[in-house]
Amino acid sequence: MTLTQDAPARAAMAKRPAQQASLVLQGADATGIVAAVTSVLSRHGANIVSLDQYSDNPHGGAFFQRTVFGLDGLQAALPALRADLDEHLVDAFGLSYTLRDLSVPKRVAIFASKSDHCLLDLLWRHRQGQLPVTVAMVISNHPDVAEEVRSFGIPFFHVPCQGADKSAAEAEHLRLLKGNVDFVVLARYMQILSGDFIEDVGIPIINIHHSFLPAFIGAGPYAKAKERGVKLVGATAHYVTQDLDEGPIIEQDVVRVTHAHSATDLTRRGADVERAVLSRAVLWHAEDRVMRDGNHTIVFA
């Protein structure tokens, strides 16, 4: 190839954005952590795009940091970069970290029941490119949403789940999920997951529920809220633990209502909040913006 042919190719390469990765770390706060991170990345030719950090106490408290950086030839560079991080972050400071190529989206399975507003909102946002995930499948204990899900080109699996013994259904869930997804979203899935399932699946599970819990437990929460004259309706997205609805909170929001709103109005407004809160939680998890610290979360939104 001649020099004149080479120049346009070099110019095109120069304009191509570098591949991006996220580096998320946490541990005990100490002097020099940020300098160590930037030094390691600099040695490997990485360009930091964004850096967020938080310390709950600068004098020996817990430290959290999320860094996004660009690096040409990222995949080939990852092994050497991990070895350098092990030496200068893990060995030197006792930190734990995750390093992920952001060009590879996380794979998610969505669980749903008959209520479809959260499910269809996530599928629509995914189709519009607003959620950087691969929706591997939708699983439901009812067949009602099958055709709508398939219209998005997403595999749908109907797994009935009835009665007190859910072992057969959960065994099928595990068969479908194992090795195929990185996290699960419960998009108004109206079944309680067993502790054994939560432990066996071994990946994060995100749930959405109205914020009336535990005051309005059971069926018809918005009708109960109307009877009590509530002034706010809201929603909470959280990680699932074996303690029902007590996992680390990712996102919450509310809207104001008045005495003039009917139970139907409350239900509609509640559904709007649920969609928004769940989509933000899924986005932030997909982009490695949520860090868990016991039953607490740090969210670099």
SS3 292: strand
Catalytic residue among 245, 253, 265, 272: 245
Q: What CA–CA distance (Å, rounded) separates 114 from 63?
A: 42
In the chain, the amino acid numbered 201 is V
Q: What CA–CA distance (Å, rounded) separates 246 from 242?
A: 8
245 classed as catalytic: yes
Walk across the sheet containing 20-28 and list its strands. 47-55, 62-70, 20-28, 96-101
214: cis peptide before it, omega within 30°? yes
Which tokens belong to 28? Answer: 């005990």
Would you say 228 and 193 are in contact if contact means Cβ atoms under 8 Å apart?
no
Q: What CA–CA distance (Å, rounded) separates 234 from 271?
A: 9
Return the active site residues: 245
